[in-house]
Amino acid sequence: MRALVLLAFVASPAWADSPVIEKVQGRQSGTTWQFDVTLSHADTGWDDYADGWRVLNTDGTELGMRVLHHPHVNEQPFTRSLSGVTIPEGASEIVIQSRDSVGGWSDQTVTISLDEPNYAR
């Protein structure tokens, strides 16, 4: 019985570590933006891996999402790009939020100024 309780505790999504946003680079191209986001996460395989990140307006509106379709167990940290992101007129900042397959969207976010759209931990 104790082993069963311990197993449930270890597998609980509430205890999963969120992907860490290590670096963000943003650049405007015409009327849209491209964001390159570097994440690190203790991917274990298909059971627990960083499965996406998104660009949000400061009011929480999703502006774009990059889905990660497979684990990156042997590639940490890793960088993926998202282009074609339209930023609303007048916006001066965006927010990056990461997600993993166990815990969902992270509570921790990174806010980027569009005047200086680069971030590194």
Domains of the chain: 16-120 (2.60.40.730)
CA angle 56, 94, 107 (to 5 degrees): 55
> What local confidence, expressed as pLDDT, does residue 13 receive?
42
Q: Is 11 helix (H, G, I), strand (E, B) or coil?
A: helix
Run of H or E including 49: none
Does residue 1 have a pLDDT over 70?
no
When pLDDT is averaged across residues 17-44 and rounded to a whole number, the result is 94
Percentage of the chain beyond pLDDT 70 is 87
- Please check whether residue 81 is in contact with residue 66, taking contact to mean a CB–CB distance below 8 angstroms: yes
Tell me the average pLDDT of the chain. Answer: 87
Q: Looking at residues 15-39, what average pLDDT do you find? A: 91
* pLDDT surpassing 90 at residue 6: no
pTM of the model: 0.84
**C-alpha span between 37 and 19 (Å, rounded):** 11
Question: Residue 15 pLDDT > 70, yes or no?
Answer: no
pLDDT of residue 94: 97
> How much of the chain, in percent, has pLDDT values that exceed 90?
69
Looking at residues 88-100, what average pLDDT do you find? Answer: 96
